[in-house]
Amino acid sequence: MTGRILYGYRMEKGIAVVEQTEGLYVQKLFDDYINGIPQYKLLPELIQYAEKKQLPLPTIKSSYMKTLLTNPKYMGDSLYPQLISKDVFLKAQEIREKRLKKIGKDDVYTSLADQEKFFLKDMLVCGECGREYKRYKRKIGRKKKAFLWDCAKHISNKSRIDCRNIHVTEEQVSYGFMIILNRLIQNPDILTMPLKKEFIKESTRYKGVDREIKKMESGELEYDQQELLQLVLKRAALKYLNTQENTYDYYTQKLCGRLEQMSSVTKFDEQVFKEFIEKVIVHKENALTYVFKNGKEIRMPIK
């Protein structure tokens, strides 16, 4: 975790919660955008709104608008509570894509609304920069086109490449999964792993960080706000990790039980893939790491 929290939220006892004023601003930005206000006018409109309501002025910059309007975390995830509904978020993406198309920048990727239809949505992660992979349209020859999955940072605009990781196809990901699944059916023990010592170590670290925070809050230790924020974020990360021991036991038992019901797999099944896999990491060395629901990682060369 980084020391910065997403605009619209604040940390409270190690948990991200909606910051009332900033959260209101985020919701207004999305509402204004889907109601026709251009991106470059959003911040001036928001400042006028804040002045009229006698609220603190927003601390974000115009250059942050694109990042804010396209960040799916506002729909809620494991760290952040939902601030924007899925319908509103997807509507904003649809409007943005139409505007890009109007100025000739529509031939790069599959729309976010359309990406919801594909089984790799939110599943592929770049092993170089950590960004998600998106489905892009590519030309092969003069007429033929193909859809590939590339790092979202691969093309920031038509003239610059920001991440040089490889692209992958849905067929490559599904083929690798089928090979692994058949190995697991033959030997389910591959799915187990010794994590207990790691959890004990992290649990000890959590207790130490928690004690330090309590000393700061009681006045026993001197501190500044940034130092406290860093420790609170660290405690939240450690607390989350400590919950993974129960998650590991639960999913290991569940997945091994599922494997006992299966025979050799010859056809890819999207539902089975999502049942077993948490995410897939793409490596520039032409390999994929399949991360299972219980945390087990299995690396496979791309074929």
Phi, psi angle pair for 59, to nearest 5°: -100, 5
User: Which residue ranges in the chain fall short of pLDDT 50?
Assistant: 1-3, 105-116, 157, 196-201
Distance of alpha carbon 60 from alpha carbon 68, whole angstroms: 10
User: Residue 196's pLDDT is what?
Assistant: 45
CA dihedral 277, 282, 283, 289 (to 10 degrees): 10
User: Residue 99's pLDDT is what?
Assistant: 79
Closest CA relative to residue 124, chosen from 9, 293, 289: 289
Domain boundaries along the sequence of the chain: 1-105, 107-167, 172-301
User: Residue 160's pLDDT is what?
Assistant: 57
User: Residue 148's pLDDT is what?
Assistant: 87
Q: Which fold has domain 1-105?
A: Hect, E3 ligase catalytic domain fold (3.90.1750)
User: Residue 98's pLDDT is what?
Assistant: 82
Distance of alpha carbon 122 from alpha carbon 228, whole angstroms: 32
202 three-class SS: helix
Give all strands (DSSP E) within the chain, no chain letters. Answer: 9-12, 15-18, 124-126, 133-140, 144-151, 155-157, 160-161, 277-283, 287-292, 297-301
Residue 234, C-beta contacts closer than 8 angstroms, at least 6 positions apart: 1, 209
User: Residue 104's pLDDT is what?
Assistant: 53
Amino acid making up residue 17? V
Predicted TM-score (pTM) of this structure: 0.51
